[in-house]
Amino acid sequence: MGGGSYSRKPGARSKIKKYKRKTWLCRRAKDTDQIQDEIAKAQETGAPAGKFEYDDDLPGGGQFYCVETGKHFADAKALEDHKKTRYYKRRCKELKEEQYNQGSAEAAAGMTKEVLPPAHGGKK
């Protein structure tokens, strides 16, 4: 006897929200602002930014950590290979840019405090 037919085609529910996997949230990388804060904090204290105590739960015991991308690696070779990738180089370039602050956010929203000259020549 043959197999039964399905009521829906495979992948028919892929666009329905409740059937989607929430991978975008659990695999999300750290934001550049968070990493810039970590680097600044490490410079203030004088401690290296990527040093962790040995932890069995982390890959490589937490000893091979990339500060710029916020990822742990299993060994030194994997970390070296990672530092040659396009993702790492792009992230380093992003981190060199100036960190956002409240003033730049307000300027982007059009909430500037600059005083403009009068539009029609002023008083007569």
Q: Please report the domains of the chain, with CATH numbers, ordered by start residue.
A: 29-102 (3.30.160)
Look at residue 122 in the predicted model and tell me its pLDDT.
Answer: 63
Look at residue 109 in the predicted model and tell me its pLDDT.
Answer: 81
118: tokens are 């009068």
Q: Computed from CA positions of residues 111, 38, 36, 68, in that sequence, does the dihedral angle turn out positive or negative?
A: negative
Q: Computed from CA positions of residues 63, 59, 93, 84, in that sequence, does the dihedral angle turn out positive or negative?
A: positive
- Report whether 34 contacts 23 (CB < 8 A): no
Q: What is the pLDDT of residues 19-36, one digit of tens each?
A: 666 656 666 788 888 888
Look at residue 23 in the predicted model and tell me its pLDDT.
Answer: 59
pLDDT beneath 50: ranges in the chain: none
